[in-house]
Amino acid sequence: MEGTEGAANVDGDGDGGDRPWQSYHTVYTTAKAGMEGVDKEKVQRVVYEMSKGSKYFQNEERKEAFINQKIQNLRIQCAKLTQADLAHYRKVADRRIVELEASRDLSRIWLHVDMDAFYAAVETLSNPTLQGKPMAVGSMSMISTANYEARKFGVRAAMPGFIARKLCPELIFVPTDFKKYTYYSDLTRKVFRIYDPNFIAGSLDEAYLDITEVCKERNVKSEEIAQELRAGVYEETGLTCSAGVAPNRLLAKVCSDINKPNGQYVLPNDRMAVMTFVSSLPIRKIGGIGKVTEHILKGVFEINTCEQMLEKSCYLYALFSQPTAEFFCSVGLGLGQTDSPQVRFRKSISNERTFSATEDEVLLHKKLVELAEMLSADMQKEGLCGRTLTLKLKTASFEVRTRAVTLQKYISSTEDILKHAKKLLKAELPISVRLIGLRVSQFNGDKCSATPDPTQKTITNFITSGDVNRNGSSFPDVADRDFVSDAETNLSVDNQQQTSQLDWRDPFVGNYLSDGDYQSCVLQKNDGIEEVQTPSNDATSSHHSGFTEALGSTSFQGQFEGINVMNESKLLEGASLNSCCQETTMLWLNDYKCSLCGIELPPSFVEERLEHSDFHLAEKLQKEESRIHQPCVPSGSPKRYRRDAYGKEEKERVENSANVHNGDHRRLNEPNHQRAPHPTQQEKRGSIAQVGQSSGQRKAGERGWWKDTRKQFNERAETSHRREQRDDKSQAKPDDNTFQRRDDFSERKDDPLPTSRKRPAFREKRIPVESGDVNLVVGRNDRKKEERSNNPQHLGRPEKPFADDRAPNKVGGRRDGFPSRGRRYGGNDSYRGRDKFNGRQGYSLDKIQTEKWKHDLYQDVSKDPIPQNEDDKIAKLEALLAS
């Protein structure tokens, strides 16, 4: 902590200037285990030298500049807070903290186990001659992970191989082999199951086990279980792993990293122990707090440790959304999830490929076909059908773009996917890209293994088409019906003859619409009826889908719930106002909240308030005007128009034939099912790196700082129980292979119940800031707003890698072996917890918006935030906290 304080005088950070290599984006997260003793500065310099000037680097710089701008804006907002504002947020924050404290659950014992240098260790098992030599799994382009010998040189996961080789000329590269990793992963899970049949598998190499019962039944200490478990894993696989034990998953994960290579650390279920542990813990160690979040918290609030989250809590509540601020505070309290998450199903399936940047349309088309085929195969393997297709492109300059369409029909066939993907791609066309990806989401209920073939589809479409037409959305078919594609083709061809668009003839023959087609689509639509309807349709559509989701999906529930709450609160709160002068008068309730939208705006934000009231006025005028004029659609540039037309077209279709389609699909889909959900869950790892550099202040002591922390933790532990939590590496030496059978894992089925915390919707606070404007503007041509970050799911997470390793394609060149696809999802789970403590945050600084929860906060404080019946409890906790 001492070092931490020093960090307070951060300043602008020394990037840029004399030591450009220290810019935080060049910092590979060197905080990972095994980086002790590494000359970080040297690594930084090498990385910088090797990257400097590259397109990749330039893009990183661009992103960093953007974030720095955001930091600036946040600082400005901070500076604007008056004493009164701070007092207000102080109150809000304190109240929340007390409530969070009240939710602390120390009854469970969680163990997080994480294999050491997993892929590398497995490779070493296969080839013992690699032992003791610096080695990395991956290629010259990208490294998946590196063994500890290599880490001494600064080599690490996600680092391009050519840079790694620069750092360590003798580095041995081993290609990835996911089958192997999966095999060993299964072996480890077999051991995990012994201690917790419902363990939560994170990725291939990590898992969370609730060992509460085992400890109780066998009357043994958690550390003994950890020892035993690790020994068991070693015996079964010949691989070493590390474990962390704590009262919740978030901390267990942090603990498993403390004595990382082949060690363990136990954090007792004791509040003081937890608070002490967390007090000096760097925020970056927390899953969900990544490079950007760390940079922002450090840059704006000078927060380096979890404890400081509490110290700055009022600022956090003042500048971020409640869920975000709450997450941060919960981290400061060392809270995390302790329940057993419910099974979750995958929400999307995707695939993407990187290749040498090209603008060759034929080539791109080819890629698209391959992706569509693979994706379709994966979907059918799992019996999935989805209605939203998203195309992802990464330009030669590393800028990522996504374009999506939501269809009325659920699709899964290569043809369907391709048909729409081509349209999306074409709209972006002339473009030089280095990556193309496809993703399908919005699954039909869940599974729909049926519909795997054209046959059924054809029938469905046939029926569908009739309905669609009946509804008047004539053109629409293009997008949906498969069989109709013939018609579509014809149409397309015709148009092509008329309008042309040679470039696309080859690759996209028949399926693609030329610009002319788009236009005619639009025209047809207009003729058909639309425009007038559009407005109302949109509204309906939106509402409808929202409703549906709320009913069917837990994850979205919160959102809608939130909206409802907002409305209600509006009504409640401003009842007297709303009922009579809602539209005309805007008041600042309690001198903080807008009576119309609920946004909270401190009195000191004079300009913002004026702007805000102007906004409502404008809104009102606009409404009135539209009432008079009605619809009419302005169109932008041709290109843009094209896209819009496409999207709108789809939307309408959804509306018009939703019922019919749903019926059909349901029938088709229901049948199969089987998706063994194996709820793997995972957590992220918070270890990391050193952005430290960027903050000049702690540069010197940084490495030592955390190291010391580790030492402290160990000492403390030893002192109290004298047990060596740290194993000697002696115990395990991954040498001989021991492989055996495989197994599969089980899943967790408990249903957790939603607990207290409402879903974190991570919005930010939205304090209007004029500076926000600046920010927004900063965005480039298209837009770009600000950002946010989020999430960790210390919970579920699907598993990713999978054995397949399907040869990635490469176009111009090489290809690396990465997990190309994550099948194995058999179940996925990924849950996420919408629950409590997952990290996420959103930073923004943008305009103003109505922030519902903000109001909630306000109400909480000024009215009656705390449930009566809990007063006592709270009071007690308060006393506890005070002590």
Asked whether the beta carbons of 129 and 248 are under 8 A apart, the reply is no
Q: How many CB atoms lie within 10 A of CB 782?
A: 8
- Contact residue for Mg ion among 47, 74, 115, 448 (CB under 5 A): 115
Q: Which stretch binds ligand DCP (CB under 6 A): 63-71, 109-117, 736-744, 860-868?
A: 109-117
Asked whether the beta carbons of 236 and 740 are under 8 A apart, the reply is yes
**Residue 183 near ligand DCP by CB under 6 A:** no
Q: Which stretch binds ligand DCP (CB under 6 A): 112-120, 190-198, 291-299, 383-391?
A: 112-120
Whole-angstrom distance, CA of residue 312 vs CA of residue 78: 11
Q: What is the DSSP letter of 526?
A: H
Q: How far is the CB of 114 from ligand DCP (least distance, A)?
A: 5
Q: Which helix (H) or strand (E) holds 804?
A: none
**Residue 115 near ligand DCP by CB under 6 A:** yes
Identify the bridge partners of residue 842 per DSSP, sorted by sequence position: 788
Which listed option, Mg ion, ligand DCP, DNA, none, makes contact with residue 401 (CB within 5 to 8 Å by class)? DNA
Whole-angstrom distance, CA of residue 752 vs CA of residue 511: 47
Q: Where are the alpha helices (DSSP H) in 239-312?
A: 249-258, 271-279, 291-301, 306-311
Q: How far is the CB of 625 from DNA (least distance, A)?
A: 19
Residue with Cβ nearer DNA (388 or 492): 388
**Residue 145 near ligand DCP by CB under 6 A:** yes
Q: How far is the CB of 7 from ligand DCP (least distance, A)?
A: 25
**Residue 32 near ligand DCP by CB under 6 A:** yes
- Contact residue for ligand DCP among 157, 325, 417, 767 (CB under 6 A): 157
**Residue 352 near ligand DCP by CB under 6 A:** no
701-707 contacts, C-beta under 8 A, 24 or more apart = 701/3, 701/6, 702/3, 703/36, 703/40, 704/3, 705/3, 705/4, 705/282, 706/31, 706/282, 707/36
Asked whether the beta carbons of 171 and 134 are under 8 A apart, the reply is yes
Q: How far is the CB of 723 from DNA (least distance, A)?
A: 26
Which listed option, ligand DCP, Mg ion, DNA, none, makes contact with residue 390 (CB within 5 to 8 Å by class)? DNA
3-class secondary structure per residue, 342-394: CCCCCCEEEEEEEEEEECCHHHHHHHHHHHHHHHHHHHHHHCCCEEEEEEEEE
Whole-angstrom distance, CA of residue 570 vs CA of residue 851: 11
Residue with Cβ nearer DNA (312 or 834): 834
Which listed option, ligand DCP, Mg ion, DNA, none, makes contact with residue 324 (CB within 5 to 8 Å by class)? DNA
Whole-angstrom distance, CA of residue 675 vs CA of residue 298: 43
**Residue 33 near ligand DCP by CB under 6 A:** yes
Q: Is 715 a catalytic residue?
A: no
Q: How far is the CB of 738 from Mg ion (least distance, A)?
A: 19
Whole-angstrom distance, CA of residue 167 vs CA of residue 180: 28
Q: How far is the CB of 448 from DNA (least distance, A)?
A: 16
**Residue 199 near ligand DCP by CB under 6 A:** no
Q: How many CB atoms lie within 10 A of CB 255?
A: 26
For the purposes of burial, counting CB atoms within 10 Å of the CB of 512, is it exposed (0-12), middle (13-18) or buried (19 or more)? buried
**Residue 144 near ligand DCP by CB under 6 A:** yes
Q: Nearest CA to 37 among 745, 543, 706, 788?
A: 706
Q: Which stretch binds Mg ion (CB under 5 A): 73-81, 158-166, 200-208, 566-574?
A: 200-208
- Contact residue for ligand DCP among 71, 93, 117, 448 (CB under 6 A): 117
Q: Is 305 helix (H, G, I), strand (E, B) or coil?
A: strand
Residue with Cβ nearer DNA (108 or 295): 295
Give residue number: closest CB to Mg ion: 114
Q: How far is the CB of 240 from Mg ion (least distance, A)?
A: 10
Given the residues 61, 99, 123, 206, select the one marked as catalytic: 206
Whole-angstrom distance, CA of residue 201 vs CA of residue 185: 10
Which listed option, ligand DCP, DNA, Mg ion, none, makes contact with residue 119 (CB within 5 to 8 Å by class)? ligand DCP
Residue with Cβ nearer ligand DCP (207 or 668): 207
User: Binding string, 280-309, against ligand DCP, x = CB under 6 A?
Assistant: ------------------------------
Q: Nearest CA to 408 among 321, 477, 508, 341?
A: 477
**Residue 123 near ligand DCP by CB under 6 A:** no
Phi, psi angles (nearest 5°) of residue 470: -60, -40
**Residue 158 near ligand DCP by CB under 6 A:** yes
Q: How far is the CB of 375 from ligand DCP (least distance, A)?
A: 21
Identify the bridge partners of residue 282 per DSSP, sorted by sequence position: 305
Q: Could you tell me whether strands 264-266 and 241-246 are parallel, antiparallel, or unpaired per DSSP bridges?
A: parallel
Q: Which stretch binds Mg ion (CB under 5 A): 125-133, 183-191, 198-206, 207-215?
A: 198-206
User: Binding string, 201-240, against ligand DCP, x = CB under 6 A?
Assistant: --x-x-----------------------------------
Q: What is the token pair recorded at 702?
A: 């940084």
Whole-angstrom distance, CA of residue 645 vs CA of residue 639: 10
Residue with Cβ nearer DNA (140 or 577): 140
**Residue 265 near ligand DCP by CB under 6 A:** no
Q: How far is the CB of 685 from Mg ion (least distance, A)?
A: 8
Q: How many CB atoms lie within 10 A of CB 769?
A: 23
Whole-angstrom distance, CA of residue 361 vs CA of residue 504: 8
Residue with Cβ nearer Mg ion (653 or 824): 824
- Contact residue for Mg ion among 85, 114, 482, 652 (CB under 5 A): 114
Residue with Cβ nearer Mg ion (234 or 317): 234
Residue with Cβ nearer Mg ion (205 or 655): 205
Give residue number: closest CB to ligand DCP: 145
Q: How far is the CB of 829 from DNA (least distance, A)?
A: 8
Which listed option, DNA, Mg ion, ligand DCP, none, makes contact with residue 862 (CB within 5 to 8 Å by class)? none
For the purposes of burial, counting CB atoms within 10 Å of the CB of 254, is it exposed (0-12), middle (13-18) or buried (19 or more)? buried
Which listed option, Mg ion, ligand DCP, DNA, none, makes contact with residue 682 (CB within 5 to 8 Å by class)? DNA
Whole-angstrom distance, CA of residue 205 vs CA of residue 861: 45
Q: How many CB atoms lie within 10 A of CB 665?
A: 22
Q: How far is the CB of 723 from ligand DCP (least distance, A)?
A: 22
Which listed option, ligand DCP, DNA, Mg ion, none, makes contact with residue 33 (CB within 5 to 8 Å by class)? ligand DCP
Whole-angstrom distance, CA of residue 462 vs CA of residue 486: 12
Residues that bind ligand DCP (rule: CB under 6 A) add up to a total of: 16
Q: How far is the CB of 146 from Mg ion (least distance, A)?
A: 12
**Residue 205 near Mg ion by CB under 5 A:** yes
- Contact residue for ligand DCP among 101, 114, 480, 835 (CB under 6 A): 114
222-237 and 178-195 helices cross at what angle (nearest 10)? Answer: 140
**Residue 683 near Mg ion by CB under 5 A:** no
Asked whether the beta carbons of 552 and 651 are under 8 A apart, the reply is no
**Residue 69 near ligand DCP by CB under 6 A:** no
Asked whether the beta carbons of 304 and 312 are under 8 A apart, the reply is no
Q: Which helix (H) or strand (E) holds 808?
A: none
Q: How far is the CB of 539 from DNA (least distance, A)?
A: 12
**Residue 802 near ligand DCP by CB under 6 A:** no
Q: In this structure, which amino acid lies at residue 817?
A: G
Asked whether the beta carbons of 138 and 144 are under 8 A apart, the reply is yes
Whole-angstrom distance, CA of residue 402 vs CA of residue 409: 21
Whole-angstrom distance, CA of residue 78 vs CA of residue 578: 32
Q: Which helix (H) or strand (E) holds 395?
A: strand 386-395
Residues at the interface with Mg ion (CB under 5 A): 114-115, 118, 205
Residues catalogued as catalytic: 206
Residues at the interface with ligand DCP (CB under 6 A): 32-33, 114-119, 144-145, 157-158, 203, 205, 260, 685
